[in-house]
Structure 1
């Protein structure tokens, strides 16, 4: 009986293009990857000491490398920048709010028999010039200027008695109304008189102290620059090509639309804080959110991660305390009183008040201030955020 072949001697059919292997000859060629070692089925994988690939023991790292990681120029620069930013935050907020000093509160004085001129001169002579009093004769015109925020109070002097009337419009700024009331109560007390205050344009029931618009604007701006900051940190400050840059702008546009619509929905339909002007407020929110996000992306494209700090400096450190939200411009010290209406925060708060309470007075100016910041951010982004190759010839050995 013939012997059966062993498993090692079992013939194998070769592919047509496969060379015959000589027994005992190594088929591994030079330059080929070494054959992988396989672990038999059912056995445990081989264990080894040490960290996984890409990691290293702390003991294996030189002390110089550890110090360089924390105290290197780039890391130390970011730490110093953050430290200065937080000091600026404290200085700006405390500087703006620690001591309100009313200055130049414009008040109309109305009376009979030319008493308005006498009273106005007495008010203008108060040390520190807390008010600028104007002698007026037309009460209807004075009320109109009060509701348009061109006046902070209307003082009705009664020459035939000891009780006068002060008209204010808290919807144009509750801090202005409170400051005017305090000043006239102090003046009247010195003259042995009393003052009755009448609010001819109060805030809506859900808008306590008239600061809902300030928090709404702050939310739109914070959301805009936060979204742009996260995109820049995760994907880089500059886009890889022109189309990706356009996609980033499209992202800002979509985000701005959603922020404006949903933010207004919360304060209008859900909370009932600011009602009756949904689409106007939503449009303001879209403009503010787009301004914050595009400006932040432009700063990131030029300055990298430092651009996020610049956005925080503008929208938080400088913008919030000077926005005229908690305290109106007339009771803020300089330079917050001057800068407020020119920054996106103040322009946004003024635009919201103009739509809700002032029948659109000066709305065009406030929108122009916001649009200017949007245009600056868009221009910087378009010039600096694009890595597109425009077809310019270069030497072959020049790096990309």
Structure 2
């Protein structure tokens, strides 16, 4: 070996001179322990999933569902007494006022009781087919007690191709899974931070157009403005996708677990898309509206069938998830870059500087 290869300058340390110590490989738990852990862990996970998906449906019942009554004070008091805590009754001066309240999402329906006339039941099946049926049944009970005939008027209904809104209810799981799976694929395929942002935006735009095209032109659930409805779907997908990206970048593997719990385990069964938030056990219905699947479903429903009324709450919820995901993503990148600089110091200078996060 030549002198040039063996001599180093005084005071300097070559990267190849850093002492390397052999550390014994850590042994994991025995194979039988791993098998038992996998079996028990999977059983617990399946049990939790079945509970979260089945229990809300099995315990479905009205909890303070807002409805209206047009009639005398005696009639309003009687209906309020009969419904108890299941429905919150509000009195309206006339049928026009009750219709306006339905269209602005203040109430789900109303009973119009006029002396000597048929009882008119106002419902909005587009708000919730299940609640509409409950209000019809209630109206029939009042009509039987007063020996009057009933007339049901559907103020806002689903299109004839999907009269029960099955497409919207079935879309809850794709909405929850779509953003989560898209974020996972983006993280696996794309390594650059900017590329992931662009890909997430692209997935949101294309996914929004595709989802609404299927629900509107193939299934027939929607019949509103395609472009506005697609924008609502884009926001929902973007909020989900960026939330997953941010949680993963900031928290690592545990972030994906948090995202899966919030979006799939809780978000899908608590979305209320198949019934109504007020039919879920308290307070789970309200919690579901704070998660992306529930907020996206409410936003789509309000944009398509109620002329954009009551969209403030879902817009704020989705905006918070989107902004929160971006903030977490930025914080995670910043921490990663600082860690990378610290690791370079170890290789080049043989020591690690303390870096404050």
Tell me the matched-pair count. 324
> 2:351 maps to what in 1?
398
Contact 1:217-1:288 within 8 A present in 2 as well: no
* 2:90 paired residue among 127, 131, 134: 134
Tell me which of 243, 249, 272 is aligned to 2:220: 272
SS at match of 1:126: helix
TM (norm. structure 1) is 0.72
SS in 1 for 2:120: strand
Asked whether the equivalents of residues 256 and 289 of structure 1 are also in contact (C-alpha less than 8 Å), the reply is: yes
Question: Which residue, 173, 177, 186 being the options, matches 2:132?
Answer: 177
Stretch deviating more after TM superposition (286-295 or 217-226): 217-226
**CA distance in structure 2 between the aligned counterparts of 1:313 and 1:97, rounded to whole angstroms:** 18
CA contact (8 A) 1:301 1:385 kept: yes
Measure how far apart 1:145 and its partner are: 0.6
Asked whether the equivalents of residues 228 and 303 of structure 2 are also in contact (C-alpha less than 8 Å), the reply is yes
Q: What whole-Å deviation, never above 9, does each CA across 1:209-247 have from its counterpart, x for those lacking one? A: 124234335423311101222444x469xx6xxxx1121
- Distance change >3 Å, CA 80–CA 254, structure 1 → 2: farther
Which of structures 1 and 2 has the bigger CA Rg? Answer: 1
Q: 1:72: Cα distance to partner? A: 5.6
Q: Which residue of 2 aligns with 1:158?
A: 114
Whether 1:227 and 2:175 are equivalent positions in the alignment is no
The equivalent residue for 2:21 is none
Between stretches 182-191 and 389-398, larger displacement belongs to 389-398
Question: Within the alignment, does 1:334 sit opposite 2:282 as a pair?
Answer: yes
* d(CA) in 2 for partners of 1:92, 1:391: 44
Match of 2:52 among 84, 88, 92: 92
Cα distance, 1:269 vs structure 2:
3.0
Q: Which of 248, 258, 265 is the matching residue for 1:317?
A: 265
Counterparts of 1:172 and 1:81, CA distance in 2 = 39
> 1:44-123 maps to which residues of 2 (within 5 A)?
68=30, 71=33, 76=37, 83-111=43-71, 116-123=72-79
**Kept in 1: contact 2:172–2:271 (CA 8 A):** no
Q: Residue 144 of structure 1: which of 100, 105, 109 is its match?
A: 100
- Per-residue CA deviations over 1:183-205 (Å, capped at 9, x if unaligned) read 33334445555533221222112
- Out of 373, 388, 400, the position equivalent to 2:337 is 388
CA distance in 2, matches of 1:81, 1:310: 17
C-alpha spacing 1:143/1:365, structure 2 compared with 1 (3 Å): same
State the match for 1:253 in structure 2.
201
TM-score under structure 2 length normalisation: 0.80
Question: For 2:237 and 2:67, how far apart are their aligned partners in 1?
Answer: 36
- Identify unmatched segments of 5+ residues in structure 2: 2-25
Partners of 2:233 and 2:300 within 8 A in 1: no
Q: Which has the higher helix share?
A: 2
Secondary structure, counterpart of 1:334 in structure 2: coil
**Are positions 1:216 and 2:171 aligned together?**
yes
Secondary structure of 2:121's match? strand
Change (3 A) 1:329 1:81: same
> 1:277 and 1:299 mapped to 2: Cα distance?
34
